[in-house]
Amino acid sequence: MSEQRKISLTVNGTRHEKTVPVRLTLADFLRHELRLTGTHLGCEHGVCGACTVLFDGYSARSCLMLAVQADGHDILTVEGISPDGKTLHPLQQAFHDNHGLQCGFCTPGILTTLIELLRDNPDPTEEDIRVGISGNLCRCTGYHNIVVAALDAAKRMSDVGGRRSKTHTDIRSPTSDL
């Protein structure tokens, strides 16, 4: 029987305490233990970006991390992007309005990646966006409308005052105090 360990972490603003196998990945923990299936698994070896979450504010491949490594940490998944769990975040609305997705498989990872990018660079260029999402593979869109949506989101987020429309957990920049 595999070794188990008790972990305590915050996911989308909610504290969870669970006992998990030490070899369970963070992605499987989110999907199977917490039923947060918005975090997708494509390659399961760090290439496609579909499993991207924010880990203490930094984007991270949840397929490459163990759940026990998240003990004591703060995780944001795509389910936590909405400011209140009902209203679309401006980034999500921009993706909807600009057809920034087709099948949607890559979308959760791209959204979490862009949440970090737009937080740290509220006025990105097209190149900034393309470089920023270069670790996220999309088999459908050709990326064009994703880039259009991201640029539109940046504008919307600056227009609503506050550039940083808060997410569920209001994860701030890890370097904001530096």
Interface positions with ligand FES (CB under 6 A):
41-44, 46-51, 61, 63, 101-106, 138-141
CB of 163 to ligand FES, least distance (A): 26
**Between residues 23 and 172, which has the closer beta carbon with respect to ligand FES?**
23
Is 41 or 177 the residue whose CB approaches ligand FES more closely? 41
Cβ-count burial 3-29 (b if 16+ within 10 Å, e if not): eeeebebbbbeeeeebebbeebbbbbb
Between 99 and 172, CB nearer to ligand FES: 99
CB of 117 to ligand FES, least distance (A): 17
CB–CB of 100/94 below 8 Å? yes
Answer for the pair 115, 97: CB distance below 8 angstroms, yes or no.
no
* CB of 42 vs ligand FES, minimal distance in Å: 4
Beta carbon nearer to ligand FES, 61 or 89:
61
Shortest Å, Cβ 142 to ligand FES:
10
Closest CA to 118 of 157, 144, 81: 157
Radius of gyration of the chain from Cα atoms? 16
